[in-house]
Amino acid sequence: MRTFNIAIDGTSGVGKSSAADLLAQANGMIHLDTGAMYRCVALAMKQAGVNPDCPEEVSRVLDTVRIRFLGKRVYLNDQEVTDAIRTSEISNLTSRVAALPAVRKAMTSLQQQTTAAGGYIVDGRDIGSVVLPQAPVKIFLSARPEARARRRYDEYRQKGIEADYSQILEDIQKRDWQDSHRSTAPLVKAGDAVEIDTSDMTLDQVTAAIQRLIDAAGK
Ligand code: DC
């Protein structure tokens, strides 16, 4: 059991969540998937028919959003939304919603409160730079867009879901652009984060590389 927090940031589809899950199990820690939190906010906005350009409507929804994780399942106001937050419509909406300063402020504060006691592996885009700047282990995962699109395509096919590789690649490139060009907490590598390019690595190789950094931090 580690008592410090670990930040894992990186682009869409780079394997942050899978690596964080395995590392959490191996180290007796809790995985906090902050992307799922932003996805819940986007779904709540869609369900409430909220216009993301209207700050009052956005605040009203934020006040009512309650997010809970039970193992791998995600709940939004007691409704299970594990699959509902993973559709491509919600992925694209989340990228827009995550750019809203009020949304970022609310989620950052929730993430800081949740992880205050330590023992969390937190994955996202701004964890090392904004949410947990003091984390003793900060990782930035990157991979070529084509490698990420290929992984997502294979994932869909394994689940028997029809998928279009070119469309997935285009969506990934669009989301990369939105995530790294927004004015509030854009996707950036924290100055002291260790970058790992996972394009040609297996998940096991990625987790082993991060595990070495965790062991070196040693607390
Ligand atoms: O990691 P993911 O693909 O589930 O993230 C969904 C979206 O949320 C993605 O567009 C980036 C955004 N996000 C963010 O802006 N900040 C975070 N800490 C986590 C995710």
Per the structure, the complete domain to which residue 132 belongs is given by 6-217
Q: β-strands 137-142, 6-10: how paired? A: parallel
Distance 8 CA to ligand 1 centre (A): 12
- CA pair distance 32, 69, nearest whole angstrom: 9
Distance 125 CA to ligand 1 centre (A): 6
- Which amino acid type is present at position 8? I
Is residue 1 situated within a structural domain?
no
Q: pLDDT per residue over 148-203, tens digit each? A: 999 989 988 998 988 999 999 999 998 888 888 888 878 889 899 999 999 999 99
The pTM score is 0.92
Distance 179 CA to ligand 1 centre (A): 8
Distance 6 CA to ligand 1 centre (A): 17
- Which amino acid type is present at position 111? Q
Total domains in the chain come to 1
CATH assignment at residue 142: 3.40.50.300
- CA pair distance 103, 92, nearest whole angstrom: 16
| C-alpha distances out from residue 98 to 25, 45, 48, 111, 154, Å | 28, 12, 17, 14, 27
Most ligand 1 atoms within 8 A of CB, residue of 31, 45, 89, 94 to mutate: 94
Q: pLDDT per residue over 82-120, tens digit each? A: 999 999 899 889 988 999 999 999 999 999 999 999 999
Residues with CB under 6 Å of ligand 1 are 12, 34-35, 38-39, 94-95, 98, 124-126, 175, 179
